[in-house]
A and B are shown apart, each in its own frame.
Chain A
Amino acid sequence: MAHCVDISRERPSQGERFFLDTSVLVHIVHPALSLGIERQRRAAPYAQFISDCKRVGAEMYISPLSLAELASIIEDFRHKVYCRQHSSDTKVKEFRAIASERRIVVDSIQTAWTQAISFANCLDHNVDAAAVAGALDLLRRTSLDGYDLYFAQLCHHAKICNIVADDGDYSTVDNLIVFSSTGF
């Protein structure tokens, strides 16, 4: 089992290295996800921790796959908003064909990614046959799914033992220290 740290009680140190899971990244770079009292309360400890990392000279990392996951979350959000605004059950592929909506989604993803790489370093991430085999092994041994399987492996290969996540699934991975405010 991973060791879990309450992010609101911990301060990073110079030279420490952290991987930022997309569950945290999205709270920092997506305008809708830190707007409103409740969402701001959820995002605030992560934003403060990332700010502290920059201030003290701790390093933060993301993966090229973070873009794919971020893009998926942003499109899912816009799609759900669209369906509710139009009282429709427009399918995702139909939604993508609406030029005005597609432009909003693509611009939102671009703006989000530009912000992300302004405070975090994007690691090289080789997703090859060995990575797939490792992902399948992690799938059996942990509660991880999707992109998180590859992020956990990337942390291992890059010798990063700290992960900042709003996702309790990482707590099932050995040799990771999970920095979170969720108290799982």
Chain B
Amino acid sequence: MKVISISDTFGPFCIASDDGGKLYGLIVDAIKDDQTVELDFTNIEVLVASFLNGALAPLYRDYDSIYLTEHLKFAGLTPSFIEVIQAVVDNAKRYYRDDAYRKAQDEALRLMSEGD
């Protein structure tokens, strides 16, 4: 199993979506060869949706959920990290797997944007 220390790779603040995109690349490099990867969040101080949308959300566009459950593991999570990861993963699964939901979400965001 390949272990990625998030704090060693990105520092203690997981905010930038570009950093999330880099983590996505590291994950894909591992799991495309049928390797299991563990993301270790030990020593992380800030973990937010913008980072996770870059790192985890596209995995649910590119891979089956069951494959990801088998190949993607987490360590060092606090209760609040679990909450935000769950929120991002739930939204990504629905967005990429449910056409009607994706259209509804896109339309809702378009309407909200027009109201800015």
Contacts and interface: CB of A to CB of B under 8 A. Distances in A.
Contacts of A55: 11, 13
Determine chain A's interface SS by DSSP, over half rule. Answer: helix
Contact of B17 (A44, A110, A118): A44
Contacts of B105: 32, 81
A177 interface: no
Interface string B48-61: 11111110010000
Q: What size tier do the contact residues of chain B reach?
A: 35 or more
Contacts of A31: 49, 52-53, 57, 87-88, 90-92
B17 A40 contact: yes
Interface in A24-57: 27-36, 39-40, 43-44, 46-48, 50-51, 54-55
Q: How large is the interface on A (under 10, 10 to 19, 20 to 34, 35 or more residues)?
A: 35 or more
Given A33-B49, A51-B13, 4 more contacts: A29-B50, A48-B15, A55-B11, A55-B13
Closest CB pairs A-B (n = 6): A80-B108, A84-B104, A51-B15, A47-B50, A31-B91, A51-B16
Interface of A: 23, 27-36, 39-40, 43-44, 46-48, 50-51, 54-55, 73, 76-77, 80-81, 84-85, 107-108, 110-112, 114-115, 118-119, 167
Interface of B: 11, 13, 15-19, 45-54, 57, 80, 83-84, 87-88, 90-92, 95, 100-101, 103-109, 111-112, 116
